[in-house]
Structure 1
Amino acid sequence: MIESKKIWTIDRPDEDAVNLLMTELGLPSVHAKILVSRGLQDVDEVKSFLHMSKDCLHDPYLLHDMAKSVERIKRAIESNEKITVYGDYDADGVTSVTVLSTALERLGANVDFAIPNRFEHGYGPNADLFKKLYESGTNLLITVDNGVSGLEAIAYANTVNMDVIVTDHHEMGDKLPDAYAIIHPRHPEGDYPFGELAGVGVAFKLACALLEEVPEDLYEIAAIGTVADLVPLQDENRFIVKEGIRRMRMSKRPGIQALAKVSGTEQNSMTEESLGFTIGPRLNAPGRLGSADDAVRLLKSENHAEAMMLAEQLDALNKERQGIVKGIAEEAEQAVVDMYGDDIPDVLVIGGEGWNPGVVGIVSSRLTEKYYRPSIVLCVDNETGIAKGSGRSIAGFDLFKELSKNADILPHFGGHEMAAGMSLSVLDIVALRTRLNSQAKDVLTEDMLIPQLQIDVPLTIGEIDVTVLEGLELLRPFGMSFEKPVFLIENLSSSSIRKIGAAKNHLKMELSDGTDTLDVIGFGDGELADAISPGAILSITGDLQVNEWNGRKKPQMLLEDLLSDQRQLFDLRGINEPGRWMSIVPAKGTAIVAFQESTIAHFTPLLKGAAIHQFGNSEIPKMDYIVLLDVPEDEEQLQELIKSTNPKRIYAHFYIPESKYFEGVPSREHFGWYYSFLKKRGTFDLANQVQELSKHKGWKIDTIYFMTKVFSELGFVKIENGLAIILEDADKKQLTESAAYQKRERQIELEKMLVYASYKELKKWFDDVCEQVVIREEQLWI
C-alpha cells in the first residue's frame, strides 16, 4: 500500500447535469464536470458565467455614502484642496492607492498618497501620521483598503477639521469611526448587492463614480489587488479579474511590462496564478521590509526606464524577503524539532528574537503547511518585553475565537478564523502556548490533524487532450469560491517510473489505463520512485497542464498526491550483494526477517549491524516494511508472518545457499537402487563410505543423506553411530509418507514460486497468500 499524504474526499459531479451541459453548450466533459462540481448546472446560468460582460458591474451609487463622498471630493477638486489617498502596505493596498489616485489626477485634483510603515505606524489609520499629513496641508484624506477600524486616528482628524472618507472592505466592529463618509460594500446601513469586493474593488467603484465611466485601463491594476487579497472570484470580482488579465496580456503600461520581465513571466500568457505568485509578491515585498511607496510609483510610472529601475528594486526586495523568510523558517522549524522532536503538539507557538515582523505570517503559513497544525510565530523583543506575531490555522480551529479566550494576556489581537495577528508580553508566551494546546484538545480530533484534499473532478485519461486543456481558458480565472480543480485519475498502472533532476529528487512517470497514457511529474516526490512496485495500480490527483517540448505539445499532470490500495512487492531476488539493494529499503520502519539461522550468520556481517529477526525465535516487530531474506520452510510460516506484521511493502530477497529446486527429489529409481544396495550389505558406514558411494553413483552427498533420512522415517533403516542398518520385515510404505520427503517437495515448490517464478507470478502468489490471511481474519469474526 501507498498511503496518500492527505485524506481524500471525492465528490463526483452529477452525470446527468454534466451530460446536459455537454449537449446544450457543446462543452468538453472536463469543462462540464468543473462547472457542475462548482454548483453551476443551469444552462442559462452557465452561459452568463462563461460570457461575462461589464453589464455585471453594479451601480457604484448603490454603495453607502457614495453620493456624499463624490460630492465632497469634487468640491475639494474645485477648491484645490489637497487630497491624500491613505493606503495599506500590501498588494491590495498599493493597487487601491494607484487606482484612486490615478482617477483623481485625471480630474485635476491636487492629490498625493501616503502609506503607513509597517514597523513605525502599524496597520491602518495612525494618528501620528494623520497629524503629519494635516500639517503638510492635507484637507481631505481618503483611506483605501483600511480605515473602518481607525476610530482613534479619525477622531483626531475631526479635531483639526480634516475630513476623512473611509473606503474599506475589512470586517467592521461594533462601533464605526466618526468619518465624513464610509464606503463599504457590507455597511450595515447600505444595500449593495455584492459584499465581497477587495479594497481595490471599492476604490475602483469610487473611481467609476468620480469619472462617471468605467476606467477600463485600470482593470489590470484592480485585478492584481483582487487576486492578491484572496477575495471570492464571483460577481464583480470575477469580471474585474477576467477583464484585467485580458488587458494585462497586451498592456502598454510600463509597470506591468517591467514586472513581467523581472519575474520571468510571459506577458501575453499571464493568468491569475501569475498575479498571485509572481506579480503580487513583488508588490508586497517593499511593504514587508520598509516603505511600500515604490510599489505605487512603479504601477503609476509612465516611463519605461523608471519602471524597469523600480521593478528591479522590488524584485531585489522580494529576493531579500525570500531569504529572510527562508532563514526564519529554518530557525522556526529547528525550534519545533528542539522543543518537540517527533511528538508534535496540536498547536505550535514559536518565538525568536530579532525575527522580522513583516514576514512572520509567511513563516507561520509554512509551519502550518508542513505540520498541518495551527501555528503562531512571534518576534520577541527582550528589551521591550513585547512579542508580536502572526498565526495561521487549519479547518476546525477558529484562530480568532480561540485567541479571544485569552484576551487577558493578549492586549492586542485581531483577525479571523484562519489568520490572526497579535502582541503580548514575552512572559506570557508559555501561557499562551499551554492554553491554546489545551483548548485544541476540545475542538480538534486526530483526523482533523491530517491534511484534507477535496477532489471534485474525477477524469479518465481519454477525456484529456491538448485542445481541452488549452480550452480551460474559458473557465478562468480560478480562485476563492471558484477554486482551481483538483483532478483525479484512478486505476492506472505505470509503464515507466524514474527519478529526475540533478539531485534525483523529482519523479517522472508514464501511467496507463490500458488504452491511453499520461505523463506525470512530481516535483520533490523522487522518493516515491522507490515506493511504487512494478504493475502497482495507482490513483493520482493533481493539476493538468500542457507541456511543450521541441515544438510538440502533450498533456501532463503535476502530481499533488498518490495512493495505492495494493501491498507493494519489490523484487530483490538475484541481487546477492546487500549494498546494491539496501539503499532502496527505508532505513526507518523496516523489519529484516530470516527463517533460517544460517541465513542470519551469513548476512550479519554484510548488513553492517542491521538487526535481523529470526522467525519463530524472536518476536517480529510490526513495521510498515519487511525484508524477506530467505525462503520459509512452508507457506504457513509466510502467512503467519504477514498476518502478524501486516506490512505495506514487502522486499523479497529469498537467498538460498543451495537450491533444492534444481537438485530436485531423487527419482524412484534412485531410491530403489539405494534400498537394494543397503539390503544387500545389511549395514552401510555413512561416516566413512559416503564419499566413495557419491563418486561411484555421481550423486551428491546431501542426496545420499536425504534418502537415508527418508528410509529412517519410513522404518526401513535405523541409524546408529553413523551406520545405516537395514531393518528386516519393514512394513511397505510410500515415500511420500516421510516427513523429510514431504518437506523437500514443499521446499521445491516454494523455491519454484518464490525464487524462480516471474515477478508477475510472484506478485499473484503473494496477493493470494495475503487474501487467505484476510479471509482467515474475517472468519474469526463470524
Structure 2
Amino acid sequence: MLESKATWKHNEMNDTIIDWIDSSINVSPIVQELLLQRGIKEGSQALRFLSPDLNDLHKPIGLLSIDKAGKRVKEAITNQEKILVYGDYDADGVSSTTVLLKALKELGANCDYYIPNRFTEGYGPNEDAFRLAYENGAKLIITVDCGIASVQEALVAKELGMDLIITDHHEVQEKIPDAYAVIHPKCSPDYGFPELAGVGVAFKFAEHLLGYFPGHLLEFVAIGTIADLVPLVSENRILTFHGLKSLTTTTNPGIKALKGRCNIEGNVTEEDVGFLIGPRINAVGRLQNADLAVQLLMTEDQEEADYIAERIDSINLERQRIVNDIVKEAELMVNTTNKKGIIIAAKEGWNEGVLGIVASKLVRKYDRPAIVLAVKPETSEVKGSARSIPAFDLFKNCMTVRELFTHFGGHAQAAGMTLPMDNLSKLQEELNRIIDNQLTEEDFKQAIEISQSISVKDINEKLINDIARLAPFGMKNPKPVFHLTHAPKDVRQIGSKKNHLKLHFKEEEVNLEGIGFGFGHLYPLFTPKTLVSIVGELGINEWNGLRKPQIVLQDLAIEEWQLFDCRGKKDADVSQYISLTNNNLIVSNNNEECLPGIKQITYQEIGTDLPQVDTLYILDLPESLDELKELVQITQPKNVYAGYHVENSVYLTSFPSRDDFKWLYALLLKRKQIDMKTELNKLVQIKGWSKEKLIFLSKVFFELEFVKIENGIITVVDKPVKKDLSESEIYQKRKYKAELERILYYSNYEELRNWFIQCMDYVDSPKEELAHGL
C-alpha cells in the first residue's frame, strides 16, 4: 500500500441526470458533467461559457464614481493638467499602468506614470511620492491596482490640492480613503462582478474614457488578470479568453520580444502567461524598479523592445537564483516539530522582492502558512510577504491583530506586511492561537479536487480537445483533474537523474502514458499487476509529429496490499522500502539488529500480543509455513517484504526415491555391514550420488531402526520391525523443508502472492484458486 500525499476530494454530483445539452453543443458526456459542476445547467449557459462573448461584459457605468472620475479626467485633458498614473510593481500593476497610460495618451492627455520602488517605498501610494508629484506639476493622480488602503495619502493629496482617483481591486479595509473618486468593483453594489483584477478595473475606466470598447488593450488585460490569480469566471473569463487571442496575434513590439525570449509559438495559453510571461514582468519589480517593464509594453520600437526583453530575461534568471538561495536558508529555520504552527522566517539581507515566492515554496513543502521577512535593523522593522493554505484566511485572521502591523494588505491566501521587530514573537503567538482554534489536522494536508473518475479506454484526443474548450483555466475554473485506477503494464524511471516516473497503461486497444514529474523516488514501491490509483491532468504529448494522450500526475496511491519480492538479493537496498514513521516489523532467525530503529523478533517470539503493522519484513525463512501464516494473520501487514535467501538448498538437492532406499538396503542386507569411513567415496562413485545423500539415507534407516551406526560402521538389524519411510521424522522434515523452499523461495511472484493471499482473511483481495499445490 502507498498512501497519497494529498487528500483527494471527489466532486460529488447529484445522481439526477440533467438532459440539457442541445444539438448545437457537441461535447462528450464527460465534458457535459464538467459543465454541470460549474453550475451550468442550461444549453444557453453552456454556449456562453464555451464561446465567451464580449457582448456579455458589464457596462463600465455600473462602477460607482466612474462617471464622476471620467468627467474629472476629461476636464484635466481639456485644461492640459498634468495627470500621473500611479501603479504597482507586479504584473497586474504594470499591465494596469500600461492600459490606462495608452488610453490617456490616445485622448491627448498630458500624462506620465509612477511606480514606487519596492525596496525604498514599498507597496502602494506614499506621501513622499505624492509630494514629488505635486512638485512636478501633477494636478490629478490616478492609482491603478492600489490605493484602497491609502487613507493617509489621500489626505496628503487633498492637502496639496491634487485630486486623487483610486482604481483598485484589493480587499477593502476598515476605512475607505477620502479621495475625489474611488472606482472599485467591491464598493459598487450595482456592478455585476466584484472579482476584476486591477487591470480589469483600469480597462473599464479606459473604456469609459474612450467612449468605445478598446479591444486593442485586451492583451494587457489578459497578462494582469492571469498573473494576479483572480477567479477566471464571468468577466475575467471573457476578457482573458479574448486577451489570449490578442496575445497570439499581437503587434505590440514589447510583447513580441517577450514571447521570443519565452520561445512561445502558436496560440498563447494561460499557462504561457502564468509561467513564462507573468514571472518575467514580475521579476523586474522584484529586483529593481518596475519602470523597465512598463517601458517594454509602451515602446513602439522593436529594436528597443528586443533590448529591454533581453534585460528582463536576465533579471528573471537572477531572480530565480536569489529565490533558490533564500529558500535553502529559510528551510533551515523551519521548526519541523510543530506540524501545525505558522512558519515565520526572517533574516537581514534577504531581498524582500522575492519573499512571496519563497513563502509559496515553503507552504508547498510544509503544508503550513508561511511568513517570510527581511530584517531592517536601521528601522528595527521586518518587511515581507505571506502565503497560506486554503483552510486559513490570511487577510481575515491578520486583520484581527492589525495593531501589530505598521502596514498590511492582501487577500485570503497572500499578503504583504511591515511590522516592528519586537512584535514578531507576538504575531507568531497570536496566529498560532488562531490556527489551533480554527484548523484540524486534515486542514494541513494538501487537497486535490478531482473532477471525475474515468477509465483508460475513455481517454482519447477528442476528449482532450473537448476539455480544452473549458479554457482558460484558473481560479474557480480549474483545469479538470481526473482519477483512474488501473494496473500499469510498465513503470520506468526517466530523466537524467531518474527523478521522474513514466507509467504505461493499456485497456482494450487504448494506450495511455502517465508522467509523474518528481515522482521517480517512488519507482521501487511499484509491484507487478498491482492496481494503481492516479490523479492528474489530461493532455497531448507531441513528439516528432506523433500525438499521444497522456495524464500528468499530481498524486498517486496504491490501495491494496503489496508484496515486494527481493528473494535471493543479498545486497538489496531495503531502505528504499522503509519509512521509519510507519509501524514496521522485522522477523528473522536471529536477534542481531538488521535495520536500526525497527522492531525485530524471531519466529519463536510470535504471539498474539504483536501489533498490526504497516510493513512486515521477512528476512529469514521460517521452520514451518504455519509459523509464517500465524505471523501474517496476527500482524495483518499492508505490505510484505520478502528478503530472505537460501543456502544449501534442500529443494535443489534431488530427493532420494524409494528405489534409492531399496538399493542401499539391499546392499546392506547382502553385506551385513558397511564401513562408511572407507567405503563412502566408492559408493558415491558407483551410484553418482552425493555424500550428503548417502548420509541422509543412512540416518533414515537408523531412525527407523533398520540399522545400527557406531563409529561410522553401519550394521543391519536382524529382523527389524516393518515401518514405512514416512514414519521417519528426518525423512518428513527434509520433505517438508523442500516443499517450504518451493513455496516460499522457488515459486514465481504470482504463486508467492497467492500463498500470502490465502493467509490474509483481513484483505478484500479475491481468493484465487490454489495452483501447483500452493
Provide the TM-score with structure 2 as the length reference: 0.89
1:203 aligns with 2:202: yes
Counterpart residue type for residue 283 of structure 2: A
Distance in 1 (CA, whole Å) between partners of 2:724 and 2:11 is 64
User: Which residue in the other structure is 1:43 paired with?
Assistant: 43
1:418 maps onto 2:413 in alignment: yes
C-alpha spacing 1:652/1:462, structure 2 compared with 1 (3 Å) = same
1:154-190 per-residue CA deviation (whole Å, 9 max, x = no partner) reads 10111121111111111112321111111111216x4
Contact kept in structure 2, 1:224 and 1:275, CA below 8 Å: yes
Structure-2 residue corresponding to 1:638:
628
What is the match of residue 582 of structure 1?
573
Give 2:155's aligned residue.
155
Counterpart CA distance in 2 for 1:588 and 1:718 is: 56
Q: Deviations over 1:17-43 (max 9, x none)?
A: 487548772212342232223232322
Q: Distance in 2 between matches of 1:20 and 1:429?
A: 56
Counterpart for residue 275 of structure 1 = 273
AA aligned opposite 2:8: W
| Residue aligning to 1:548 | 542
Which residue pairs with 1:146 in the alignment? 146
**Match of residue 235 from structure 1:** 234
- Contact 1:227–1:272, Cα closer than 8 Å, also in 2: yes
Q: For residues 707 and 585 of structure 1, do their structure 2 counterparts lie closer, same or farther at Cα, with a shift above 3 Å needed?
A: farther
Report how far residue 365 of structure 1 moved: 0.6
Change (3 A) 1:379 1:498: same
Question: Shift of residue 395 of structure 1?
Answer: 2.8
TM-aligned CA deviation for residue 412 of structure 1: 3.9
Matches within 5 A, 1:93-492: 93-187=93-187, 190-266=189-265, 268-336=266-334, 339-340=335-336, 344=339, 346-404=341-399, 406-407=401-402, 409-490=404-485, 492=486
After superposition, give the CA deviation of every residue in 1:60-101 in whole Å (9 maximum; x if it has no partner): 111111111111111111111111111111111111111111
Question: How far apart are the structure 1 equivalents of 2:173 and 2:389?
Answer: 24
Q: 3-state SS of the aligned residue for 1:33?
A: helix
Question: Residue 152 of structure 1 aligns to a residue in which SS?
Answer: helix
Counterpart for residue 498 of structure 1: 492
Q: 1:724 & 1:18 partners in 2: Cα distance?
A: 91
Question: Cα 1:656–1:224, aligned 2, differ >3 Å: closer, same or farther?
Answer: same
Q: Work out whether residues 17 and 36 of structure 1, in 8 Å CA contact, stay in contact via their aligned partners in 2.
A: no
Q: State the 1:557 CA deviation.
A: 1.8
Q: 1:18–1:560: structure 2 CA closer, same or farther, 3 Å change rule?
A: farther
Structure-1 residue corresponding to 2:771: none
**Corresponding residue SS for 1:534:** coil
Whole-angstrom CA distance in 2 between matches of 1:352 and 1:622: 46
Question: What displacement does 1:429 show?
Answer: 3.4
CA distance in 1, matches of 2:276, 2:620: 55
What is the distance in 2 between the residues matched to 1:622 and 1:428? 48
Task: Work out whether residues 285 and 317 of structure 1, in 8 Å CA contact, stay in contact via their aligned partners in 2.
Answer: yes
CA contact (8 A) 2:603 2:622 kept: no
Counterpart residue number, 2:650: 660
Residue 11 to residue 162, structure 1, CA distance change in 2 (3 Å): same
Distance (whole Å) between structure 2 residues aligned to residue 733 and residue 38 of structure 1: 82
- Secondary structure of 2:353's aligned partner: coil
Return the alpha-carbon distance in structure 2 between the equivalents of residues 744 and 393 of structure 1.
65
AA paired with 2:379? Answer: T
CA–CA distance in structure 1, aligned partners of residues 432 and 677 of structure 2: 75
Contact 1:506-1:526 within 8 A present in 2 as well: yes
Counterpart CA distance in 1 for 2:10 and 2:616 is 32
Secondary structure class of the residue paired with 1:121: coil
Counterpart contact for 2:6–2:555, Cα < 8 Å: yes
Letter matched to residue 473 of structure 1: A
CA contact (8 A) 1:12 1:458 kept: no
Letter in 1 for 2:549: P
1:717-756 equivalences under 5 Å are: 733-756=723-746
Amino-acid identity (%): 42
Whether 1:522 aligns to 2:516 is yes
State the alpha-carbon separation in 2 of the partners of residues 153 and 469 from structure 1.
Answer: 51
Q: Give the gaps of 5 or more residues in structure 2.
A: 766-774
Q: CA deviation at 1:753?
A: 2.8
AA aligned to 1:182 is V
Q: Is the contact between residue 350 and residue 376 of structure 1 (CA under 8 Å) also seen in structure 2?
A: yes
Please provide the CA RMSD for this pair. Answer: 3.4
- What does 1:85-100 correspond to in 2, within 5 Å? 85-100=85-100
Alignment of 1:708-719 (within 5 A): 708-710=698-700
Post-superposition offset of 1:721? 7.5
Alpha-carbon separation, structure 2, partners of 1:635 and 1:41: 61
- State the AA in 2 paired with 1:155: L
Classify the secondary structure of the residue corresponding to 1:543.
strand
Q: Tell whether the 8 Å contact from 1:11 to 1:457 is kept in structure 2 after alignment.
A: yes
State the Cα distance separating 1:551 from its structure 2 match. Answer: 1.4
Range with bigger deviation, 239-248 or 514-523:
514-523
- Kindly indicate whether the alpha-carbon contact (under 8 Å) linking 1:22 and 1:29 is maintained by their aligned counterparts in 2: no
> How far apart, in 1, do the equivalents of 2:111 and 2:525 lie?
63
Compare 731-740 and 292-301 and name the one that shifted more.
731-740
Counterpart-to-counterpart distance in 2, 1:201 and 1:408: 32
Deviation of residue 744 (structure 1)? 2.7
The 1:328/1:651 distance shift into structure 2, 3 A limit, reads same
**Unmatched runs of 5 consecutive residues or more in structure 1:** 776-782
CA separation of 1:108 and 1:402: change in aligned 2, threshold 3 A? closer
Residue 751 of structure 2: aligned partner? 761
Query: Matched residues in 2 for 1:154 and 1:680: separation?
Result: 123
- Count matched residues: 760
CA shift, 1:254, in A, is 0.8
TM value normalised by structure 1:
0.89
Do 1:285 and 1:321's aligned partners in 2 also have CA atoms closer than 8 Å? yes
Whole-angstrom distance in 2 between the partners of 1:10 and 1:423: 40
Cα deviation for residue 729 of structure 1 reads: 7.6
- 1:464-495 CA-to-partner distances (Å, cap 9, x unmatched) read 222332343322111111111112222x2222
Question: CA 1:752–1:279 in 2, change beyond 3 Å: closer, same or farther?
Answer: same
Greater mean alpha carbon deviation, residues 23-32 or residues 201-210: 23-32
Q: Residue 62 of structure 2 corresponds to which residue in structure 1?
A: 62
Q: Secondary structure at the match of 1:367?
A: helix
Residues in 2 aligned to 1:429 and 1:691: alpha-carbon distance in whole angstroms: 88
- Aligned CA distance change for structure 1 residues 656 and 592 (closer, same or farther; 3 Å): farther
Distance 2:12 2:511 in 1: 23
1:287 partner amino acid: G
Equivalent residue for 2:507, pick from 481, 490, 513: 513
Residue 521 of structure 2: SS of its match in structure 1?
A: helix
In the alignment, is the contact (CA less than 8 A) between 1:169 and 1:198 conserved in 2?
Answer: yes
In structure 2, do the counterparts of structure 1 residues 617 and 444 end up closer, same or farther at CA, with 3 Å as the change threshold? farther
Cα deviation code 1:82-126 (max 9, x no counterpart): 111111111111111111111111111111111111122211121
CA contact (8 A) 2:382 2:420 kept: yes
* 2:518 alignment partner, SS class: coil
CA distance in 1, matches of 2:611, 2:706: 44
User: What's the offset of the Cα at 1:247?
Assistant: 1.6
2-side partners of 1:773 and 1:52: how far apart? 51
Partner residue in 2 for 1:778: none
Residues 325 and 359, structure 1, Cα contact 8 Å, conserved in 2:
yes
**Contact 2:636–2:762 at 8 Å: present in 1 too?**
no
Partners of 2:317 and 2:22 lie apart in 1 by: 46
Q: How far apart are residue 445 of structure 1 and its match?
A: 2.7
Q: CA deviation at 1:283?
A: 1.3
Number of the residue aligned with 2:525: 531
